[in-house]
Amino acid sequence: MTPVLIDGKKVAADVRARLVKEIEELKAAGHTPGLAVVLVGEDPASQVYVGSKVKACAELGIYSQKWALPAETTQEELVELIHQLNADDRIHGILVQSPPPPHIDEEAVILNIDPRKDVDGFHPANVAKLVLEDETGFVPCTPLGCMELLAAYGIPTAGKHAVVIGRSMIVGKPMANLLVSKKANATVTIAHSRTADLPGLCRTADILVAAVGRPEMVKADYVKPGAVVVDVGINRIEDATRPRGYRIVGDVDFEAVKDSCSAITPVPGGVGPMTIAMLMANTVKACRQQMKH
């Protein structure tokens, strides 16, 4: 079986093209979407992610502010900045790059973001709206991107059994909520590290979503022939044959699995490009909703 390779770069480009038109319409009405990205500390990976987000804003015509705060920034100073951004009419979306330094209480920081500007979708008010299927809320960008990929490739979810490996608030749980919603109508099982006979359970899935953060954990015996495999993982593993000394792999052993499935997201180039595209989409949505109010 030759699987369909789900091209996240192409779908992300399509999303961005759609957003350009929406942004032009908003600007014509006197509103420029604005995103503030806050980075505390000097984590190299976080710096790369923040740079990518600011670059995406520039390419689409979204106003952006980047706040690079020193690692010793206190909880109080960070919360004070968030309150300033909550009150700034130029800013429609606020994102605090995760993870912050250990002395910062990330949950408390999220609680201080105005839910109307929480474009990460992590505030309890937005988590509740996701569960209640209230589309005015914001959904975390990675699972939202996964749903966009399935839709773009015409992969049906209604009546299908979806297994989500992972139960994080960032991917696993929101992914399950999106799939079980009345819009998608899948039957969903959430699996995790303590699930009994994990490979056996995964083999019952028509759609298998791997979001566990373990390099190449999902092997051929996890996948039912003809299943759709969505690999959310981005892991760096050592590889002396590569110029940088490492390579990027997903949570799925791509080579072992690809001949069994009907469609699969590669890593890199699958789910990854969708995350920033959906962050931009959430920012535009936030602008539109705040404009109405």
Q: Side chain identity at 29, as an amino acid letter?
A: A
Could you tell me the two tokens for 46?
Answer: 């976080």
- Strand order through the sheet with 228-231: 4-5, 263-264, 228-231, 207-210, 161-165, 187-191
Q: Which of 97, 114, 117, 206 is catalytic?
A: 97
Q: Which of 114, 118, 120, 253 is catalytic?
A: 120
Note if 53 is an active site residue: yes
Q: Side chain identity at 124, as an amino acid letter?
A: P
Cα 146 to its chain centre, rounded Å, is: 8
Note if 120 is an active site residue: yes
Separation CA 210–CA 7 (nearest Å): 17
Q: According to DSSP H, which parts of 203-271 are helical?
A: 254-257
Q: Which long-range contacts (CB under 8 A, 24 or more apart) does 285-290 make?
A: 285/138, 286/33, 286/92, 286/93, 286/116, 286/117, 286/119, 286/138, 287/26, 287/31, 287/32, 287/33, 287/34, 287/92, 287/93, 288/22, 288/26, 289/116, 289/136, 290/92, 290/116, 290/117
Q: Which of 53, 129, 160, 285 is catalytic?
A: 53
Enumerate the active-site residues: 53, 97, 120
